[in-house]
Amino acid sequence: MTDKELHISKIENGTVIDHIDAGQGLNVLSLLGIDGSDGESVSVVMNFVSSLVGSKDIVKVQNRELNQDELDVLSLISPQVTINIISNYEVSLKHRVQRPDCVSGVLNCPNRNCITNSNEPIESKFNIKDEVISCEYCGTHIEDVTQHLA
Amino acid sequence: MRECLITTKGLTREEIVEVLDYAAKIEKNPSSYYGNQSGKIIGLLFYEPSTRTRMSFETAIKRLGGDTISMGSVEMSSVAKGESLADTIRVVAGYADAIVLRHPKEGAAKMASGFIDIPLINAGDGAGQHPTQTLLDLYTIRKSAEKLDGLNIGVMGDLKYGRTVHSLSHAITKFDSRLNFISPEGLQLPDNVKYDLERSGSEVHQYTNLDEILSTLDILYVTRIQRERFPDEEEYRKVSGQYRINNKTLENAPKHLKIMHPLPRMDEISPEIDGSDHAIYIEQSHNGVAVRMALLDLMLKS
C-alpha cells in the first residue's frame, strides 16, 4: 500500500483492531463502550478491501491500550479480529481474541421481562458455552448479538 | 442442603430425594418436628398474588415452631413508592432468618440472592421457575406412583409461560422418566428450556393433541392457558377448548392415570373429574406443607 492510498494515518500509541468483519466496525466501538466521550481519538475504516481477506473494517484508538478481557468481547461479533498494541508507531504486541466464558454489561437481555431490564442496580450478564449465549438471570438465549448491544 | 433455592436446574437427584424422603417422614408425624426452628423468622416477599404457596410456607414454618413477617401487598409497602427489589431484599434480610420471594420478573430471585447472606427461596419469578412447586409435584408423583423413574409423564397447557412446567421439566431430567409436552403451537416450551432439556440428555416429545398420547400416560400435569396471552377472546376460546379435561376426554385414559394441576384452575379441568380416582390435585396442594417444612428445616439447619 502506498502513502497515497492510506485511508487514515498511523497512530503513535494505542490499539488497532484489524480484520473486523465488514460492517461490524461501529458495533465493535459499541461493544467496547467507546463513543469518543473520553476524548480519545478514534478512527474507523469500513469496507476496506484487503487482498488477503476481502472486505474488512479497521478501528484505531489513539492513546488507549485495551486489555485482553475488554477485547475478548469482540469475538462475539467478529471472531477473526486481530489486536495490535502500538507503541511509538510500532506494533509492540499482536494477538487474537478468545471466546470469553461470560460477558457483563455489554449486551441487553432480549427478554423484556428479565430483571436486568428493570430499574435494579445490576449489570446484565451472559454465559457463553458451546456457541450459546444465555442470560445468567433468566436463561434467555441471544441469537444475534448485534441486535442486543447495550 | 444448599443455601438458596432459585431453580431446579442445578438440583441433583440426591438433593431432590433428600427433601422428598424427609417430607415423607414429616408427613407421618408433623407435630414431632415442632420446635425444630423455634424462634426463626421467615420474611415473605410476595410481589404477585398467591394462595397456596404463601399459606403453605406460613403453615410450614409455624409447624416447625418459627414465625413469618410479611411486607403485605405491594400497594401497602414501599414498593409502591418505587423502591427497588435490591433495596427491599437487603432491608428484610436484616429482619429475617430466611426469605421467600415471589416476583413478576424472570431472574428476580437470582438477582436478589446476590444481595443477601441469608437463605432465599424462589417462590416464582415471572415465567421463569417455581422450584418448591416442583418438589411438591415430585413428592405427589412419587406418593401416587411409588416411583419417579420409568414413568410416562404428560405436561399440558401453557408451556411457554408456565413456570411450574419449566421447573418440573428440569427436575424430571434427573430421573429416568419420559416427558411429553402437549400444547397449542404458540405456547410450546421456550427454546432455552428445550435446549437445556436436550442438553441434559432428555428427548423432548411435543404434541398439539392430547389424544395422540393420552392412552400411554401415567401422569398428566395440566396447567392453565392464560387468556392474556391471546390477541383476542375468540382465539383464546378456540385454543383453550382443545385443552380441557372432562369425563369425555378421559374415556381413553388408562385407569391408573393421575391428573395433577398446580392450581388455581380456571376451566381446564372440569369439576366432574374432582371425585374420580384420576384427580390428585387437591392432595397435591396439601403436600406443599410437608415438603416446605422439609425444605425449610434442611436449609435453616445448614
Q: What angle do CA B102, B50, B206 make, to 5 degrees?
A: 80
By C-alpha distance, the chain A residue nearest B109 is A137
Q: Is B103 on the interface with A (CB under 8 A)?
A: yes
Query: Do residue B80 and residue B185 come from a single domain?
Result: no
Q: Which three cell numbers stand for residue B236?
A: 383464546
Report if pTM > 0.90: yes
By C-alpha distance, the chain B residue nearest A122 is B111
Asked, for residue B7, whether it belongs to a domain, the answer is: no
Q: How far is B89 from chain A (nearest CA, A)?
A: 12
A54 vs B7, higher pLDDT: B7
Asked, for residue B34, whether it belongs to a domain, the answer is: yes
Provide the CATH number for the domain around residue B31.
3.40.50.1370
B239 vs B205, higher pLDDT: B205
pLDDT at A2 over 70: no
By C-alpha distance, the chain B residue nearest A139 is B192
pLDDT at A1 over 60: no
CB contacts, 8 Å: B103 with chain A = 115
Asked, for residue B8, whether it belongs to a domain, the answer is: no
Report d(CA B117, CA B298) in Å as an integer.
17
CB contacts, 8 Å: A116 with chain B = 107, 111
Max CA-CA distance within chain A?
54
Integer-rounded Cα Rg, in Å, for chain A is 17
Asked, for residue B277, whether it belongs to a domain, the answer is: yes
Cβ-in-10-Å burial (0-12, 13-18, 19+) of A73 comes to buried
Structure confidence at residue B233 (pLDDT) = 84
Give the model's confidence band at A5: pLDDT under 50 very low, under 70 low, under 90 confident, else very high.
low
Tens digit of each residue's pLDDT (9 = 90 or more) over B266-280: 889 999 999 999 999
Which residue range(s) make up the domain with B236? 131-285
pLDDT at B229 over 90: no
List the single residue in A111, A115, A141 with the smallest CB-CB distance to B108.
A115
By C-alpha distance, the chain B residue nearest A140 is B192
Report d(CA B128, CA B122) in Å as an integer.
10
Asked, for residue B6, whether it belongs to a domain, the answer is: no
pLDDT at B75 over 90: no
Query: Do residue B232 and residue B150 come from a single domain?
Result: yes
Q: Report the mean per-residue pLDDT for chain B.
A: 94
Q: How far is B129 from chain A (nearest CA, A)?
A: 9
Query: Do residue B152 and residue B275 come from a single domain?
Result: yes
pLDDT at A104 over 90: yes
A/B interface, count of CB pairs below 8 Å:
57
Q: Could you report the predicted ipTM of this complex, rounded to two decimals?
A: 0.93
Contact B110 A136 (CB under 8 A): yes
Q: How many folded domains does chain B comprise?
A: 2
Report d(CA A60, CA A15) in Å as an integer.
6
Q: Is B99 on the interface with A (CB under 8 A)?
A: no
Q: Which of A3-7, A62-66, A129-133 has the lowest mean pLDDT?
A: A3-7
Give the model's confidence band at B86: pLDDT under 50 very low, under 70 low, under 90 confident, else very high.
very high
Tens digit of each residue's pLDDT (9 = 90 or more) over B160-188: 999 999 999 999 999 999 999 999 988 99
pLDDT at B230 over 80: no
List the single residue in B84, B108, B192 with the smallest CB-CB distance to A119.
B84
The dihedral through the CA atoms of B126, B128, B132, B133 has a sign that is positive
Asked, for residue B208, whether it belongs to a domain, the answer is: yes
Give the model's confidence band at A6: pLDDT under 50 very low, under 70 low, under 90 confident, else very high.
low
In this prediction, residues B188-199 reach a mean pLDDT of 96
| Residue B244: closest CA among B265, B219, B262, B269 | B269
Beta carbons within 8 Å of B231's beta carbon, 6+ residues apart:
none
Q: Which amino acid is at A146?
A: T
Tens digit of each residue's pLDDT (9 = 90 or more) over B29-64: 999 999 999 999 999 999 999 999 999 999 999 999
In this prediction, residues A81-98 reach a mean pLDDT of 94
Structure confidence at residue B1 (pLDDT) = 65
